[in-house]
Every structure is written in C-alpha cells, then in structure tokens.
Amino acid sequence: MREPLRFTFYALRFIFPITTKNMAISLENKIVLVTGASSGFGADAARLFAREGCIVVLAARRMDRLTALAEEIRAAGGEALPLPLDVAEQSQIEDLVQTVLDAYGRIDILFNNAGFGRLDWLERLDPERDINAQLDVNLRGLIQVTRAVLPHMLARRAGHIINVSSVAGMIAAPLYSIYAATKYGVRAFTDALRREVAPFGVQVSGIYPGPAFTEFGKHSGDNAVKSDLKLPNWISMSSEYVARRAVSLAKRPRRTLVIPWWFRPLVSFDYHFPSLVDWLLKVAFVRRFHKVETAPREAPCGHAVGQAPFRGCFARSPTKRRNMRISRLTKLSESLRASNLDALALNPSPSLTYLTSLHFHISERPVVVIFTADHAPVIILPELEMLKVTGLPYEIKAFPYPENPAEWEGVFRRAVQSLGLDGRRIGVEPRAMRLLEFRHIQAGAPEADFPDASDAVSRLRVRKDPDEIAAMRKAVKAAQSALEATIPFIKIGMTEKEIAGELVVQLLRHGSQSEMPFAPIVSG
C-alpha cells in the first residue's frame, strides 16, 4: 500500500515542483516602469506597486496628471519619478529608458499598460486617427518600449515584463476590429517573447482584463455606438481590482492572467464552439447596433448595407423578415382599424414602405399622406410608386416646411383644414411631434437650447455629464407636461420598438371651438 502512495507523491512533486519560483517574491526596492500611468490600470497599479515598497517610474503623455500622482505617492511614503512619454515616438522611448538607467541603474519590472481603443464599424474608422493611431500606441509602442528595456534585463539575467492586453485579444467582437487586432498582436508578441527570453532569466507575462471602469470609453469616438456600448455595472470591474491582480502577478509570475475568472471558460468556449460564439456575438452586437447608418453599398452577400433592417451579411433570411413584417403589420393594422383613423401624417421615410402593405388589413377608406417639402422629390417618388402598385386608395398633399419650428403647428392646422379633416382622427408620426415639443421646451425651459428633446438627451448620454442630464430630464418633463396640457395625445396598441419601421402612431382630434384645437381621445 505504501509503494503506490509514495509513487503518487513523487509523481505529483515532479509535475508540481515546490520551489521558490512558486512562492511570493518581495517587491521591496524594485524599480518599476509603468507606461500609461496617468489613469486607469496604470495609475492604480503605480499606487499599489509603491505601497509594496517599489520605486515607481510614471510614464505617460499627460504630465500634469503624472505630477499629481507622484505627489500622492510621495505623500504616502513612497518614491515616484514622473517622466513624459508618447510610446508612438521612438526617440522619447530611448530618452526615457536612459534617464531611468542613469537615475537607478536598472529596471526590474516593465508594466506595459499604455493603450486606447476606438470602436465602430470598420468602414467608419478614420485611417489615421483611428486605425494607425491604435496600431502605433497599442502594438508598435508596446513592442518598442519592450525592445528598449530588454537588453538591460538580459544583461542582468533578471527582470519581469508584464504586458496588458485585453479579453478582446482572445475573443474578438464586432466593433472591436482594430482594437482586437492590436490586442491579439500583444498576445502573440507576449507568448513569443516569453519563449525567446525564458532561458536568460527574464520572465514575460500577459494580463487579459475584461470590461472595467476606466477612461477607455472616452477615447472610443463620438458616435451613436459609443453610448450604447455601456455594459451593466455587474459585468465591469474596478480598475483597482485589475491593478491588485497585476501586482499579485508581479509577486508570483506566471504566463497568463485572465480577469475576471469567468472569462477563461468563455475563451475555451470560443475555441471549441466558434460557430455558436459567432451567432451570440451577432445577436449581441450586429443586430443591437444595426441602427447605425453607413454609406449604402453592396455587401458580398448581396444585401444593401445601411438600408436593410439588419446590417450586411448578418441580415435575417428573407422568409424570416417577411414573416416578422407581416406579424408587425397585422398588429399595427388592428390598432389602426380599432382607432378609426381618417389620415396619416408622415415624413417620407423607409417606414412608408412598410405601411404600403397595410392594404390587406385596413378598411378601404381613403388614406391621406402628408409630406413635408424639405425632402427632395427623388426620395418621395419611389415610395409613391409602391403606393400605386399596392392599389391602396390615397391622396398626396405637400406642404411647406418652415425653418422656424414654432410655425410647424400653423402648417399642420392649415393642412388639416385644406384636406377637410376638421374633427376627424389623424395619426401623426413622432418626428413631426418633436417640432411641437421643441416649441414648448423653449417656452418652459429656455436654458435647454436643443433642436429637440430626443437628440439632446442622446448627446448628453454620450457626454455622461450627470448635472446636464438631470437638467435636461427636468426640462423635458416640463415640456411634456406643457405639451399634454395643450395638445394631448396617446399612443395606440404597441410600443415604439414593436411597430414596423419604428413608427409610433399618435392620435389627435381637432376641436374647432377650442383655442388650441386638439383634444385627447380614448383608443378602443
């Protein structure tokens, strides 16, 4: 009985040797060079390295932040040296490394953290500002800094290089194309360099953090996608947590550190079941952000990118799209029929192409479509042709579109009177109602100088300014109250996302005796 146990014990000792390499290493008096130290992981890692007794060299472009961080570290009893560095400039890298060697004689730990990301569809990324800049900072800069420091570590046969990559360097997602490419490059560089220098006493590790609360989003571009990419708080980590794990990695060196732990099975899942991961990412990203407009062009699969309900080759099958549209149109037509609408007031848009299919469901009474004159006839004509093909009774009237939004109400009144719709039910598209909302926003909250409420809230959400968001919400609420007090309206039957073409039908009834000739109605 003892022999098998003894054999098992020595086999486990051989597989998992108990050496000082697996024990925690003291970081006291280690010289640590941290790039990208002005914020995020870099700043928090610098604080924690200093707390462990390291001498921290802070390197980044924003010297004012580095100076403040160095003073904070010194006030806590640590030692820090702030130095300006743009990792995209080779001369600055060489000067910084030489300055550190002159001051301390060595570099024990290199924490390569500098990087940023700009997220969008590939065709929307600017070649210089978005693509080349990410390659220069995230990949080329990291390689050049490592190349400048490595000879001194090899000469001493000691040192530890920690490269901060990303989970995007293991699981590439849509909108992250260039950022993921740079982080995949960091991953490959880290693995190759580790095997290259391992015989010479230099250790190389890679950190692959998931979503975290940093300034990453501020550099992801001013576009509609950025505001929607915000992940739930329970998914994102604090940058201090990532920094603590980085310091732990410096104490106990190992090849790879994926943070948080539950991303490790996801990486394995992506390797073994790529088709399923492709489908999940398509649902999570491509269909979620299909509303982002792109220049119309033909995709390889034949779908029109930027015009299809979903983007390019990821569009649903024609049969599935047709069934979904019929289902939505059926629900919409039931709401329209129950409301006894006599007219639809629309702007020319893709939503009209959905409405042309309603002739199978709605009653045969005439439908009046009101267009505004700010749209060119070339845009209107194809939609009119579709109306003719369906055989749906209709009458087309065009009315001038005033430059002053406050005059839109008068245009609508004249349109109602000229079409003989006094006292009859009219469905109004929300984009038309926003012009009326704007007038009441100006009257109720003059400080809210925005073209309309929805655009203003969208821009504020991108900027993420809590005070401005609160002020705008208050202004919008006041405007809505004023609007409902003068021109009440209700939505019928469905939510905005459920209606074909994202069309919301709002009901108004004209009352000729009142000063503001619109009163609320109750939908059946």
Look up tokens 């980044």; give the residue: 60
pLDDT, one tens digit per residue, over 205-259 is 999 988 766 666 555 554 445 544 555 555 667 788 888 899 999 998 888 888 8
Asked if the structure places residue 10 within a domain, the reply is: no
222 and 90 share a domain?
yes
Task: Provide the mean pLDDT of the chain.
Answer: 65
Query: With 70 as the cut, is the pLDDT of residue 449 above it?
Result: no
Predicted local distance difference test score (pLDDT) of residue 468: 61
**Domain assignment present for 8:** no
Instruction: Please indicate whether residue 445 or residue 113 has the higher confidence score (pLDDT).
Output: 113
Mean local confidence (pLDDT), 144-173: 91
Q: Are residues 70 and 191 in the same domain?
A: yes
Task: With beta carbons less than 8 A apart as the criterion, state whether 241 and 211 touch.
Answer: no
Q: How many domains does the chain have?
A: 3
Q: What is the pLDDT of residue 167?
A: 87
Phi-psi region of 19 (alpha: psi -120 to 50; beta: other; left: phi over 0): beta
Structural domain that includes position 403? 318-519
Q: Which of 288, 309, 286, 306 is nearest to 296 (CA)?
A: 306
Instruction: Report yes or no: 359 and 510 within 8 Å, Cβ to Cβ.
Output: no
Q: List the end-to-end C-alpha distance of the chain, in Å, as a whole number.
A: 84
Kindly state the percentage of the chain with pLDDT values over 70. 45
Domain containing residue 146: CATH number: 3.40.50.720
What integer is the mean pLDDT of 313-332?
A: 55
The verdict on 267 and 292 lying in the same domain is no
Higher pLDDT, 188 or 519: 188
pLDDT at 356: 39
The verdict on residue 142 lying in a domain is yes
pLDDT at 272: 82
In tens, the pLDDT along 4-32 reads 666 676 666 655 554 444 567 888 889 99
Q: Is 4 contained in some domain?
A: no
Same structural domain, 114 and 235? yes
Question: Are both 339 and 307 inside the same structural domain?
Answer: no
Q: Is residue 462 part of a domain?
A: yes
Q: Are residues 421 and 455 both part of a single domain?
A: yes
Show the tokens assigned to 183.
């982080």
Q: Based on the number of CB atoms within 10 Å of its own CB, is 59 exposed (0-12), middle (13-18) or buried (19 or more)?
A: buried
Query: Do 64 and 191 fall into the same domain?
Result: yes
- Answer whether residue 15 is part of any domain: no
Q: Is the pLDDT of residue 164 over 80?
A: yes
Regarding whether 36 and 164 lie in a shared domain, the answer is yes
Q: Pick the more confident residue, 360 or 370.
A: 370
Same domain for 225 and 80: yes
* 248 plus 384 within the same structural domain: no
Tokens of 305: 């990118």
User: Would 434 be classed as within a structural domain?
Assistant: yes
How would you label 151-190 residue by residue, b for 16+ Cβ within 10 Å and e otherwise?
ebbeeeeebbbbbbbbbbbbbbbbbbbbbbbbbbbbbebb
Query: Structure tokens of 312?
Result: 């390019």
What pLDDT does residue 374 have?
38
Residues 326 and 239 in one domain: no
pLDDT of residue 413: 64
User: Residue 476 above 90 pLDDT?
Assistant: no
CATH number at residue 496: 3.40.50
Per-residue pLDDT at 423 exceeds 60: no
Catalytic residue ranges: 179
Of 271, 301, 330, the position where a domain reaches its end is: 271
CB 137 within 8 A of CB 113: no
Residues 399 and 490 in one domain: yes
Bridge partners for 506 per DSSP: 428, 491
**Which letter does DSSP use for residue 197 in this model?**
H
Closest to 284 (Cα-Cα) out of 272, 271, 266: 266
Q: How confident is the model at residue 415 (pLDDT cuts 50, 70, 90)?
A: low
Does residue 11 lie in a domain region?
no
Contact at 8 Å (CB) between 285 and 174?
A: yes
Determine the residue type at 417.
Q
Please tell me the predicted confidence (pLDDT) of residue 173.
81
CA 319 to chain centre: 31
